[in-house]
Amino acid sequence: MIKFFRKIRHTVLKNNGLLLVFIAFFLLLYSCEENKSKEDTKETQPNITSVDVAIINGNILDGTGKEAYKANIYINSDTISYIGNLTNPDLKIGNTIDAKGKFVSPGFIDLHAHGNPLKTPDFENFLAMGVTTIVLGQDGSSTRVTDLKAYLDEVNKQNLGVNIIEFVGHGTLRGLTGIGTKNKINAAELDSLKSLLREQLQYTYGLSTGLEYAPGLYAEESELLALAEVVGEQDKMIMSHMRNEDDEAVIKSIKALAAQGKHARVHIAHLKSVYGKGKERAHQILDTIKEIRNSGVKLTADLYPYMASYTGISIVFPDWSKTPKQFAIAKRDRREELETFIKNKVNLRNGPEATLLGSAPYTGKTLAEAAKEKNKPFEKFLIEDVGPQGSSGAYFVMDKELQETLLQDDLVGICSDGSKTGHHPRGHGTFAKIIETYVVQDSLLTLKEAVQKMTGYAAEILHLKNRGLLKKGYKADIIIFNPENVKAPANYVNPHQLSKGFDKVLVNGKLVRDNENLATELSGKVLLPD
């Protein structure tokens, strides 16, 4: 090729006429290619004569991680009809929303949430922080009904603020089949678990496990592997509150989940290392996850942006004392051993000052303060006045540097692990806090990265079709906001303060929250798997 052009150059230099012909030829060729390129990129506008909603002048963050771009979004019913600029002069628009100077993104998807849609169907706490879809049935605990379809049909009749995705809880299956807290189960019992799981998976996106809680903690690995095969048969996912999140056990727990991942997609719920510290430890955990993924296991994770977890106080009791029956026996026959275990466990978790009780009559008091009021050592107070089922609490057991390193990794999504009623700010602040703290204040994430984690990536993890992106043909779950105005005022003292700054929230094409005003008629729905 080089010799060819040298020959041409030699010829045209000898003859100016040939040089002019040569130049004209290439100008003509370039012109043709330019016109062809314009024709190829010119999008033919659809024949749309009317739309229900037009969102105009916004900066579109589509959820893919790409840079924002200016465009209009046109919506008919619950679906995005077109993104661009319709020039039809006769176009009829039902409602125009001017998003000038603001960002328009898909509604956030909360990968791990809690709540009762029959009691608090509006879920305004989620809408206020830009969430339009939540995933329930977590930690091995879902609604205890055999006919799950009938239950979800009833939920769908409620005035739902958000879309709801359901998982079936492993612990709930054990309860429904009469297995309960049995450790070793026989073949017939395993078959009953598999049969009920197979039935309920038809209406859910997967199986959740809570292996640090009763009854999930009593399940042997053979049981979990057998259930993973059933989940894999339907191409569903296992979301797991793993066996042990303490620093010395977290990698072992991840590898145990990965064994189930040979049969089905697996996901680490609220990834953390209890009392682990530093970037180096975070990278060790992330490297473990990436090695597992490189082996072919489809493993993902999420976390919430707070340094305190929140769960039942049974987390500091030994496995042999968690149920009411076990606790009664432990108090009677193993009292000294029980006290020693609780004392050591709490101290390992940064002491009684690092546990903030969230249930009456001790709401808002640390374990140290509540025990002092009773004039007792905290371990005796927990045994005599509370018990493993007697309270929930926030536990300040995580390291900021470690968790923030996990947060920045592309493999880690976002969840709240929160509810409308829980006594932890994550239920009202998580997604706003991601924007306020980690995008605007600390610049640990760019806005496009944060939005992708909370939208497109979350949908990818769930295999959720037609949601999570701003794209023609996708459902119109959309939020409009200025990141500089997003605030998460919820705190541990006043955890039920609604987030601010998400000016417009649309769910399935309907404006359900407008400048902090909740619509009377909401438009969330139960999302069933395809």
- 3-state per-residue secondary structure call for 401-466: HHHHHHHHCCCEEECCCCCCCCCCCHHHHHHHHHHHHHHHHCCCCCHHHHHHHHCHHHHHHHCCCC
Q: Which two tokens stand for residue 452?
A: 């992708």
Domain boundary among 369, 396, 423: 396
How much is the pTM? 0.89
Helix (H) or strand (E) holding 396: strand 392-396
The reply to whether 267 falls in a domain is no
The reply to whether 384 falls in a domain is yes
Number of domains in the chain: 2
Domain boundary among 396, 421, 443: 396
The reply to whether 119 falls in a domain is no
Domain boundary among 396, 416, 445: 396
The reply to whether 266 falls in a domain is no
Nearby residues of 178 by Cβ (< 8 Å), 6 or more positions away: none
The reply to whether 441 falls in a domain is no
pLDDT tens, per residue, the chain with 530 residues: 444 444 444 444 445 554 444 444 544 444 444 444 333 334 578 889 999 999 999 999 999 999 999 999 999 999 999 999 999 999 999 999 999 999 999 999 999 999 999 999 999 999 999 999 999 999 999 999 999 999 999 999 999 999 999 999 999 999 999 999 999 999 999 999 999 999 999 999 999 999 999 999 999 999 999 999 999 999 999 999 999 999 999 999 999 999 999 999 999 999 999 999 999 999 999 999 999 999 999 999 999 999 999 999 999 999 999 999 999 999 999 999 999 999 999 999 999 999 999 888 998 899 999 999 999 999 999 999 999 999 999 999 999 999 999 999 999 999 999 999 999 999 999 999 999 999 999 999 999 999 999 999 999 999 999 999 999 999 999 999 999 999 999 999 899 999 999 999 999 999 999 999 999 999 999 999 98
Q: Is the dihedral of CA 184, 187, 189, 192 positive or negative?
A: positive
Residue with tokens 């189960």: 185
Residue type, 322: K
Domain that residue 331 falls in:
310-396
The reply to whether 142 falls in a domain is no
Residue with tokens 């506008």: 45
The reply to whether 336 falls in a domain is yes
Q: In what order do the strands lie in the sheet with 355-357?
A: 308-312, 392-396, 355-357
The reply to whether 491 falls in a domain is no
Residue type, 122: D
Nearby residues of 474 by Cβ (< 8 Å), 6 or more positions away: 79, 80, 106, 466, 467, 468
Residue with tokens 């060790």: 284
What does the DSSP 8-state code read for residue 248? T
The CA-based dihedral angle spanning residues 164, 286, 264, 199, taken in that order and rounded to the nearest 10 degrees = -30
